[in-house]
Structures are given as structure tokens and as C-alpha cells.
């Protein structure tokens, strides 16, 4: 039996880049959970998505590597292709309304210049993180961080799809410092750090493993990691720039 030829798709006339946050319990949402939620929200918000060719067309959405399940973020990114032009501010409001609470759209802008992938990958890009140690004081965490920074190299193991490898945690760590912040009425040690991107990139759990190796740091309660920013790294100051600007 002959299949009907697929309908030709209308051309892309606009690309929008979106910054979104994973907050609260939504930090436990997987990458696939978010992708399903975004596609439903795009339909609900009646965003005129461009689609791929073929017998099973799908919306043209470009994802960049996201934080792992269990990690919160204020700076995740995605790019969508539209077949009709829309006001980015209206798209932001409509998607934010359609997505579940805790998956929050922070900004939407029209795409220009280098791709998101180029701006967010490789050693010229970095992430700014905070790790909250609700069960430890700042002196204990700061001492462990000082021991880590004193190392010239610090290899941590990682299992990837291509096999087992080792990452140089110390080479990826651009900056790290610790101070106390009030959390739920009590003092909490907060580790702020800038970590250079790589292939694969060093993650918060790698940093925790490194602190355990060099200083025996073993928090009685699991720390909470949050990505605060990611983008091009300004080498002289260690500042992580906004990839949407």
C-alpha cells in the first residue's frame, strides 16, 4: 500500500531563545520530563512552531545540555523555531502560564549571532553554581575548599556512554569561596563557584566527590546545588556572561 506523501512544512521565519528555571520540587524533573512539558506548553500557548519534514514531523526545538535530575537551576536554555513571527515577551508570558509551577520561563529573546551551543560549550564557557550545606558551618566547608584549591590537579572518575574517564576537577574550577547565609531561620554554609565547561563538564557531584577525597567532607544531609548562570566566560574577571545578550 502506498503511503501518502508528507505535507511540506512552512519555512522558519523566526527563532526564539528561552531561559528557564527549575525550582523547588521541579529540580527532580528529568530532561525528558521537561521536554514533554515544553512541547505540551507550546501547543497550549498556540505558539506557531516550525516542524521537521517527513512522515512524523516534530517541532523544531534545539536543546542544550541541562542540569542532571535533582539539581536546581536559574539558567537553562532552549531555542525554538517559528513559522510565524511572535512578540518574544508575549511568548514568554504564554509559556510561563502553560508550564507547571517550578518550570519558570525567565526570558525570551529573538535569536542572533552565534548559536546557543557555541556560546555554552567548550572551555570558553562556564557555569556559576552555589551549593548549600544546610548541616555544616562555613568554617568546615571553607577548610575543605581551601584544601581542594591547593591541589595542582584533582582527578575525579566519570562513567559516560563511551566508557569510564577521569576529569581534572581542579583545572575546571575557576573560582570558589564560602560564606554563611540564613536559610529557614538558621545559618547555612554556601559554596559559590565558577566551573569551566568541558566535554564532559564537571558537575556539582564531582565537586562534592573532590571535597570528600581531599578533606573527608561528608555532610550528614545532602547538599542542594543550584546553577545560577551559564554562558561565555570573561577570563580576566571570572565573570559568567549572559548568552542571550
Q: Which residue has the higher pLDDT, 96 or 161?
A: 96
Average confidence (pLDDT) over 11-35: 96
Question: 27-75: per-residue pLDDT in tens?
Answer: 999 999 999 999 999 999 999 999 988 777 889 999 999 999 999 999 9
Residue with cell 549572559: 242
Residues whose CB is less than 8 angstroms from the CB of residue 134 and which lie 6 or more positions away in sequence, other chains included: 183, 184, 186, 188, 221, 223, 224
Whether residues 126 and 85 share a domain: the answer is no
pLDDT surpassing 60 at residue 5: no
Query: pLDDT tens across 155-210, in order?
Result: 998 887 888 889 999 999 999 999 988 777 677 899 999 999 998 899 999 999 99
Whichever domain contains 101, its CATH number is: 3.30.70.580
Residue 112 shares a structural domain with residue 147: no
* Same domain as 144, residue 113: no
Residue at 31 is within a domain: yes
Please check whether residues 114 and 126 belong to one and the same domain: no
240: in domain: no
Q: What percent of the chain has pLDDT over 90?
A: 78
The answer to whether residue 145 sits within a structural domain is yes
Q: How high is the pLDDT of residue 79?
A: 97
In the prediction, which pLDDT does 3 show? 54
CA dist., res. 47 & res. 233, Å (int): 33
- Total domain count, the chain: 2
Q: What is the mean pLDDT of residues 121-127?
A: 92
Residue 1: predicted pLDDT: 47
User: Which of 93, 118, 143 is the C-terminal boundary of a domain?
Assistant: 118
- Give me the CATH number covering residue 217: 3.30.70
Residue numbers of the domain that contains 223: 122-233
φ/ψ of 127, rounded to 5, equals -120, 145
Amino acid at each position: 500500500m502506498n503511503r501518502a506523501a508528507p505535507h511540506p512544512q512552512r519555512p522558519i521565519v523566526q527563532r526564539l531563545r528561552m531561559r528557564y528555571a527549575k525550582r523547588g520540587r521541579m529540580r527532580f524533573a528529568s530532561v525528558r520530563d521537561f521536554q514533554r512539558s515544553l512541547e505540551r506548553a507550546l501547543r497550549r500557548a498556540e505558539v506557531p512552531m516550525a516542524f521537521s519534514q517527513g512522515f512524523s514531523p516534530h517541532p523544531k526545538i534545539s536543546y542544550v545540555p541541562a542540569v542532571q535530575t535533582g539539581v536546581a537551576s536559574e539558567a537553562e536554555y532552549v531555542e525554538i523555531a517559528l513559522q510565524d513571527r511572535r512578540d518574544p515577551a508575549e511568548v514568554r508570558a504564554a509559556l510561563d502560564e502553560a508550564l507547571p509551577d517550578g518550570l519558570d520561563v525567565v526570558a525570551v529573546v529573538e535569536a542572533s549571532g552565534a548559536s546557543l551551543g557555541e556560546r555554552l560549550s567548550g572551555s570558553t564557557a562556564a557555569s556559576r553554581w552555589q551549593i548549600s550545606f544546610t548541616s555544616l558551618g562555613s568554617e568546615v566547608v571553607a577548610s575543605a575548599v581551601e584544601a581542594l584549591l591547593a591541589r595542582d590537579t584533582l582527578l575525579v572518575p566519570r562513567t559516560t556512554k563511551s566508557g569510564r574517564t577521569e576529569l581534572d576537577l581542579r583545572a575546571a574550577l575557576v573560582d570558589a569561596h564560602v560564606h554563611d547565609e540564613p536559610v529557614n531561620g538558621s545559618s547555612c554554609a554556601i559554596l559559590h563557584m565558577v566551573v569551566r565547561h568541558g566535554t564532559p563538564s564537571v558537575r556539582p557531584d564531582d565537586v562534592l566527590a573532590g571535597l570528600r577525597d581531599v578533606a573527608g567532607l561528608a555532610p550528614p544531609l545532602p547538599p542542594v546545588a543550584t546553577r545560577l548562570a551559564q554562558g561565555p566566560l570573561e577570563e580576566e574577571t571570572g565573570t559568567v556572561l549572559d548568552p542571550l545578550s
